[in-house]
Amino acid sequence: MQERTCCFFGHRTIKETEELRERLTEVIERLITDENVDTFLFGSKSRFNSLCLELVTKIKGKYPHVKRIYVRAEFPSINDSYGAYLKNFYEDTYYPEKLLGSGKAAYVERNREMIDRSRFCIVYLDEENAPTTRKSGTKLALEYAVKKERKITIFP
């Protein structure tokens, strides 16, 4: 586990408000200043991840030492062109080897990888709008983070 690492996970769709943006910004900045967090792990396929990447990128202007890392759930290997494209948004990217052959569980396993490498988790869980026909990937990840005793901040 990385003592100075935080990951983000949450629903694909969110209720995006100015209040949410402000509260997220405060939490992220507090992690940097009070907890010395310098690495943020991001997944994909979620508006929450996109929003957090946008906010961390903005905050990075004030704290340039902060690193943004994209943990891929797809594409075990990438070509130079895609790698260069990702460098526009992230300082690094990787595909966890344990995801090979995980099939439909790739995103669940990717979230577990991010949680394993983090001390802090910022989560967007909207119980009212969570899927009812299947187990929410966000809820599965949250249960795993609780089991791993991570420091968790839940939105909204």
What is the tens place of the pLDDT at every residue in 40-66? 999 988 899 999 999 999 999 999 999
Name the residue among 138, 148, 146, 132 with its Cα closest to residue 47: 138
The verdict on residue 17 lying in a domain is: yes
Tell me, yes or no, if the pTM score tops 0.85. yes
CATH number at residue 71: 3.40.50.450
Task: Taking each helix axis as running N to C, give the angle between helix 18-35 and helix 47-60, from 0 to 180 degrees, rounded to the nearest 10.
Answer: 50
Q: Please, which pLDDT band fits residue 70 given cuts at 50, 70 and 90?
A: very high
What backbone torsions phi and psi does residue 118 show, to the nearest 5 degrees? -120, 155
The verdict on residue 91 lying in a domain is: yes
Total domains in the chain come to 1
The verdict on residue 131 lying in a domain is: no
Q: Supply the range of the domain harboring residue 111.
A: 5-126+137-155
The verdict on residue 132 lying in a domain is: no
Tally of CB atoms within 10 A around 1: 11
